[in-house]
Amino acid sequence: MHDKPPVSPEPELFTWEFASDPYPAYAWLREHAPVTKRRLPSGVEAWLVTRYADARQALADQRLSKNPAHHDEPAHAKGKTGIPGERKAELMTHLLNIDPPDHTRLRRLVSKAFTPRRVAEFESRVQELTDQLIDGFAERGEADLIHEFAFPLPIYAICDMLGVPREDQDDFRDWAGMMIRHGGGPRGGVARSVKKMRGYLAELIHRKRESLADEGDDDLISGLIRASDHGEHLTENEAAAMAFILLFAGFETTVNLIGNGTYALLDHPEQRQLLQRSLAAGDTALLATGLEELLRYDGPVELATWRFATEALRIGGQDIAAGDPVLVVLAAADRDPARFADPDRLDLARRDNQHLGYGHGIHYCLGAPLARLEGQTALATLLRRLPDLQLAVAPEELRWRGGLIMRGLRTLPVRFTPA
């Protein structure tokens, strides 16, 4: 007689323990319930897609809409779901909440302004910002790398790129800080911060539009205003929504890329040493493959943003009804042993690494080149300037933010020889 091996008990999702290490629970789901409907902490029920092949297919499936109007939400839950876009602010009509043909038009327009060349020209500025931030704590021998490094770097970088004057950038830092601290929590402060940001961006765009002809500014907002497609321009509202999504999509993600990435390196001393040695030898190949591996291994975006079935369809053999929300679990897909050899191992030299950390399909991360630049510069400079960097607390003491979409640390206390 063959006894089936006992199935390990179903893990609880969205608890404290889950937030600090969701990977065992995702492994269980991938194996026993790869496409499964779960009640989220907000009370909304959504399908979670955890296998790589299903995830990749779902991300590219145009029958899954990004427009929250397709959500068949029970009347009693109206307005309580926290699904972005339900608050019908103009700023929410952005790339991540719209479908073709609007998405195609707006993405084409923004791609004309947000070019790899513009990002490459920004390299020395990102290096300068990185060094300035490290200067701020290098002599102290200790720091919280989230608050003093990972958090300010992307906000100043994106503000510079958008063309927000330096003297106004600390306001952005405060508004963004409110959003990251309370995202998914109390709404009042966040709503106020979003409102202030909206007011500021609207005015800045208006000002830049007025002065465009005589100044010829080369910042991204001016580029957005100038960009045209078959004679079509972005309206001021569309430009404001675009600037907002660039800030919003490019901020907490980068904080977490630097935070999760640094932590993963500190937690894998021999991988970190390999990287440090290759950087010291002037070789950046391992830095490039390594950053992709850090995205796969413990990326900033745990779940892709909301999608809604516009018709009845099947994912991984599972029937999904029209109107149902679908969440693609990137963190689960990127550890799928059916796709990645030895997926729980951090291997900075991994080559066959088509991870989904930046998404896939038409909503593939627009900011990936900027994210790579910031991530590579931040990690390489930290390791070069603070070579004996180490955690100042036990890994179990680190606290992770419990948000649904993003995965990142609240703090990252470190020690090093003062430099």
Among 254, 260, 276, 381, contact with ligand HEM (rule: CB under 6 A): 254
Binding to ligand HEM in span 321-360, by CB under 6 A: 357-359
Instruction: Tell me whether residue 234 or residue 416 sits nearer to ligand HEM (CB atom).
Output: 234
Six-digit token string for 371? 């994210």
Closer Cβ to ligand HEM, 134 or 162, answer by number: 162
3-class SS at 414? Answer: strand
366 part of the interface to ligand HEM, by CB under 6 A: yes
Residue 107 sits in the site that holds ligand HEM (CB under 6 A): yes
Rounded Cα distance between 248 and 97, Å, is 13
E-strand stretches of 335-406: 390-391
Per CB under 6 A, does 96 bind ligand HEM? yes
Residues near ligand HEM (CB under 6 A), total: 27
Q: What does the alpha-carbon distance between residue 29 and residue 13 come to, in Å, rounded to a whole number?
A: 10
* Interface characters, 263-282, with ligand HEM (x: CB under 6 A): --------------------
The yes or no reply on residue 262 touching ligand HEM (CB under 6 A) is no
- Please give the full DSSP string across 291-302, using - where no structure is assigned: HHHHHHHH-SBS
Distances (CA, A) of 223 to 110, 303, 361, 373: 8, 31, 25, 20
| Distance in Å, CB of 215 to ligand HEM, minimum | 23
**253 makes contact with ligand HEM (CB under 6 A):** yes
Interaction mask 210-249, ligand HEM, x per CB under 6 A:
-----------------------------------xx--x
Which CB, 250 or 290, lies closer to ligand HEM? 250
Query: Shortest gap between Cβ of 75 and ligand HEM (angstroms)?
Result: 27
Task: List CB contacts of 62: < 8 A, sequence separation 6 or more.
Answer: 99, 100, 362
Pairing, β 390-391 against β 413-415: antiparallel
Nearest Cα neighbor of 11 from 50, 56, 55 is: 50
Which of 365, 391, 392, 419: binder of ligand HEM (CB under 6 A)?
365
**Cβ partners under 8 Å of residue 54, min gap 6:** 34, 35, 315, 316, 333
For ligand HEM, the binding residues in 47-86 under the rule CB under 6 A are 59
Determine the Cα–Cα distance for residues 67 and 58; give it in Å rounded to an integer. 15
Which residues of the shown chain bind ligand HEM in the complex (CB under 6 A)?
59, 95-96, 107, 158, 245-246, 249-250, 253-254, 257, 295, 299-301, 304-305, 357-359, 363, 365-367, 370-371
